[in-house]
Amino acid sequence: MRAPPLIFYLKVANLSQNKGYFITFEGIEGCGKTTQVALAGKYLGACGIPHLLTAEPGGTVLGEQIRRLILHETKVRMAPESELLLFSAARAQHVEEIIRPSLESGSWVLCDRFSDATIAYQGYGRGLDLDLICRLNRFSSRALVPDLTILFDTPVQTGLQRARSKTANLTGCLQGDRIEGEDLHFHQRVRDGYLRLAEQEPARLRIVDGTKDIEAIHSEVCTCLDALR
Ligand code: Z5A
């Protein structure tokens, strides 16, 4: 893991009075973001920065129940509109109960997926109305926008292959959850959607090449974190 630079310690000295930074990690399935959230957490720890690692959907009792319902109750038929509203409900609870209080206490929050995932998956992937999703995102997050979003861009075949072997290692089964089970075209639309978002908001979304090795990607993530003030 990379050692913190001197400038980081100088910035930390200024942080104690401020709110924490909200940083989200995004990308298609298997892009490596969960691995990078964990490494980034260790890096912040080594820098002496208070931080919280969390993920969507989930992070609260209600959110975990919604997660199970959306992703794992694959025999329950779910309309795309219901799926959208369930992800939004999980987010509202997560922001209210966990994310905002942590940021207000000065902790940095590193979140594995947030509102951009809803635009990419339910908007570009499922084809639901993008304006409506943006309004719902604002409503469910009470207009909370990440200070920085790191997008791990990975070809769909690579991501799905990694995700399937991870699932097989963890569960001994090749079958993924409701969204993992979608076809290649769906995941390609999601990837294209993320890239479109990065074009629209280049100051917030930083693209990192998710095909590089884990340490090289971690080093780029650290550079992004170091650049925050
Ligand atoms: N979803 C949605 O539709 N709408 C929403 O609003 C929200 C979510 C919030 C959550 O699934 C699903 O919900 C997700 C989107 C949808 N579904 N899909 N697709 P999840 O939380 O169960 O999982 P995930 O977020 O999709 O991905 P993941 O399983 O956590 O994987 P990952 O974060 O992309 O990658 P990883 O776990 O870090 O790495 C996967 C494997 O690759 C693992 O074995 C690593 O060791 C390996 N890896 C990681 N990096 C590398 C590199 N650089 N090289 C080689 N191998 C690597």
112-135 pLDDT, tens digit each: 999 999 999 999 999 999 999 999
**Token pair of 18 as six digits:** 């401020």
pLDDT for the residue 174: 62
- Contact criterion met (CB below 8 Å) for 152 and 117: no
For 17-80, the DSSP string reads: TSPPPEEEEE-STTSSHHHHHHHHHHHHHHTT--EEEEESS-SSHHHHHHHIIIII-TTS---H
Span from the CA of 185 to the centroid of ligand 1 (angstroms): 18
pLDDT for the residue 151: 98
pLDDT for the residue 6: 52
Ligand 1 lining (C-beta closer than 6 Å): 29-35, 55-57, 71, 87, 112-113, 117-118, 121-122, 162-163, 166, 179-180, 213-214, 217
- Contact criterion met (CB below 8 Å) for 63 and 90: yes
User: Measuring CA to CA, which residue among 2, 22, 46, 48 is closest to residue 141?
Assistant: 22
**Token pair of 135 as six digits:** 């309004």
- 121 exposed, middle or buried (CB, 10 Å; 0-12, 13-18, 19+)? buried
pLDDT for the residue 164: 87
Closest residue by Cα to atom 30, ligand 1, is 34
What pTM value is reported for the model?
0.93
pLDDT < 70: residue spans in the chain: 4-17, 172-175, 229
pLDDT for the residue 36: 98
Closest residue by Cα to atom 31, ligand 1, is 30
Question: Three-state SS for 148?
Answer: strand
What is the spatial distance between Cα 128 and Cα 33, in angstroms, rounded to a whole number? 25
